[in-house]
Chain A
Amino acid sequence: MENVPEFKATVEISRKWDGNEVAEEIVNKIKNKNLNPKFILLFTTIHYKNEFEKILTGIKNGFQNSLLIGSTIAGFITSEGCFTRGVTALSVDYPNMEISVGIGRNTKKNPEKAALDCTAMIKDQKKQETWKNKLLLDIISATTVPQMFGKRTSVFIGNLPTAVLAKMLEVSTRRFQLGAGNIEIILDKLVENFKDRYIFGIGANDNNKFVSNYQFYNGNVEKNSVICLSISTDKKLFFNENIGGLKPTGKTLRITDKKLDGLLITKINDRPANDEFFNIMGWDKDTINENTLFRKILYYPFVYKENGALHPEIFGLFLGKSIACGNLMRGDDAEIYSSSGKNILESFRNLLPEKADLSIILSCSMILETLGREIYKIKKTLDEHSTCYLLIFSGPEHFYNPENNVFMNRVISNQVISFI
């Protein structure tokens, strides 16, 4: 009888504050499970930004032959609990798995080059892939609040022409690398080059303040980068996704003019976008400033259809008469949807397979903000499944499904990849 190799995976956490202690705790926990990891995915909340180097060095010293990649995120759920402050590491040890890794830098300045650099690195390492089930896990630096007139702000109400504001947004993004994540542009290239596999990833962010985010690549701390882990394996892969319990309200709108490849929406229903959005929502413009914006818009995503799937977005940037989401708008006919805690919780009910060796769930950090401590109810649902799991709250979240050629980068959604 053929020896079936054992798939070993473990998800460990640390709640220590000191980087050396975090690394020591995580290394010891992984070693206690008798794993010699092929790769380690490391995620930390932004509270550890002065400890990254200690954490990465410590873990790398503990597992010198293991690939180590990761990023900052808003929060996570494991079997040990729910956390918006801490460090988590997912390790996989399985002989019937080949991996290769790539990185591209300056994603905000030159997203196409970043994607192609990353792709080239992976293709250079890939020999003939033995196994037929393939996956590309990716982490891309997400949108950050841009710099306008020397100040970082997401609300700039003024009388400057749209063309001037659009140029300032472009300069902030391309020169200072503060602004749009350009994730769609990167994903376009990844999908073009890796059409034979699932693509599954997140925008790395912080604690929903969108000030800064970091990525980790083999012991180094990076910013504004795309990191991809290519996996081929004999383990079956299960993929599922949904929009996080959103329901339509009947309030529709048509985007009639866009700039910067769809990043900036200048007209809705042939009227200035800002004015028309407030009109549709029935809001007083004086109530919106950079402190109140997040609390207002969070519960009113708008959704459009893309490649036959639903694509939610939320407006996060008000610039003069224009508005922006942080991601590129690739659809024009949209509807305002609403979210409720009950519907969001329900969306996790049938997300995972009944049984798996490992499930990685990516969920939007807006869901975390909406539910607050009720995310313990998500944990209860996940615990009912027979699987080692890690749920990451970050965003935006994106996937490419080779079975139906659907590719999506969006917010307020959930997606899972499981190794069966």
Chain B
Amino acid sequence: MLHIVGDGIRMDDPIAKVLDDLLKLEDILACMVARQNMISVMPSDGTDSFKPEIHQTWDIIHRAMEDVFKVIREYSQAGLTEMEFRLQDYEALFYVFPDTENALVAIIPALANKGLLEVEMENARREILQVME
């Protein structure tokens, strides 16, 4: 399955596979590579592979993400590497890819053991960067 990025670059399965791996972790409720106004890469089964509990809140989280991406777009070239917000019972983590407006985004439960999840988010970010090179 190929995923089209807004500027026409076709990205291969490897990134979707990285996202699939991340979703296998119990506390990763949803993840994607995204930028403002666009989800660049979804896991292989799209939003169907998100954990069921996130579906009710997904729309509002998605809208909040858009506002975060405005900040990322403004400051990514100045070295902004990470953002996060909490909404209701969830946290959204954004790991920005250097010198781009794209970020790896993950939604986790607000009270999850974030430290351990951050390590695998970082590993996913590094793998995706390698694919992008």
Q: For chain B, what secondary structure do more than half of its interface residues adopt (helix, strand, loop), or is it mixed?
A: helix
A209 within 8 A of B: yes
A47 CB contact (under 8 Å) in B25, B111, B123, B126: B25
Question: Which residue of chain A has its CB nearest to the CB of B109?
Answer: A291
Contact B113 A207 (CB under 8 A): yes
CA distance A82 to B122 in the complex (A): 9
Contact B119 A83 (CB under 8 A): yes
Contact A85 B111 (CB under 8 A): no
CA distance A207 to B123 in the complex (A): 17
B111 CB contact (under 8 Å) in A17, A81, A295, A375: A295
A370 within 8 A of B: yes
Contact B116 A207 (CB under 8 A): yes
Q: Mark B109-123, 1 if CB is under 8 A from A, else 0.
A: 001011111111111
Contact A208 B113 (CB under 8 A): yes
What bracket does the count of chain A residues touching chain B fall in?
20 to 34
A368-B119 contact given A17-B24, A47-B25, A85-B25, CB 8 Å threshold: yes
Contact B116 A373 (CB under 8 A): no
CA distance A406 to B16 in the complex (A): 51
- Closest Cβ of chain A to B29, distance in Å, is 16
A371 within 8 A of B: yes
Q: How many residues of B contact A (CB 8 A)?
A: 16
Contact A372 B111 (CB under 8 A): no
B116 CB contact (under 8 Å) in A74, A81, A295, A376: A74
Contacts of B113 in A (CB 8 A): 207-209, 294, 369
Q: Which residues of chain A from 354 to 410 have any CB-CB distance to chain B below 8 Å in the complex? A: 368-373, 375-376
A82 CB contact (under 8 Å) in B21, B24, B123: B123
B123 CB contact (under 8 Å) in A17, A81, A292, A371: A81
A75 within 8 A of B: yes
- Closest Cβ of chain B to A384, distance in Å, is 20
Contact A82 B119 (CB under 8 A): yes
- Closest Cβ of chain B to A109, distance in Å, is 28
Question: Which residue of chain B has its CB nearest to the CB of A372?
Answer: B118
CA distance A375 to B116 in the complex (A): 10
CA distance A208 to B21 in the complex (A): 20
Question: Which residue of chain B has its CB nearest to the CB of A293?
Answer: B111
Q: Which residues of chain B from 91 to 133 have any CB-CB distance to chain A below 8 Å in the complex? A: 111, 113-123, 126
- Closest Cβ of chain B to A210, distance in Å, is 11
- Closest Cβ of chain A to B27, distance in Å, is 9
Contacts of A75 in B (CB 8 A): 116, 119
Contacts of A81 in B (CB 8 A): 123, 126
A370-B115 contact given A81-B123, A84-B120, CB 8 Å threshold: yes
Contacts of B117 in A (CB 8 A): 84, 372
Contact B111 A291 (CB under 8 A): yes
Contacts of A294 in B (CB 8 A): 111, 113
- Closest Cβ of chain A to B14, distance in Å, is 14
- Closest Cβ of chain B to A314, distance in Å, is 14
CA distance A295 to B91 in the complex (A): 14
Most chain B CB within a 10 A radius of its CB, from A291, A368, A372: A372
The 9 closest A-B pairs by CB, nearest first: A372-B118, A369-B115, A373-B122, A372-B115, A84-B116, A373-B118, A84-B119, A291-B111, A208-B113
21 contacts between A and B (CB under 8 A): A17-B24, A81-B123, A82-B122, A84-B116, A84-B117, A207-B116, A208-B113, A208-B115, A209-B113, A292-B111, A294-B111, A368-B115, A368-B116, A369-B113, A369-B116, A370-B115, A371-B115, A372-B115, A373-B122, A375-B119, A376-B122
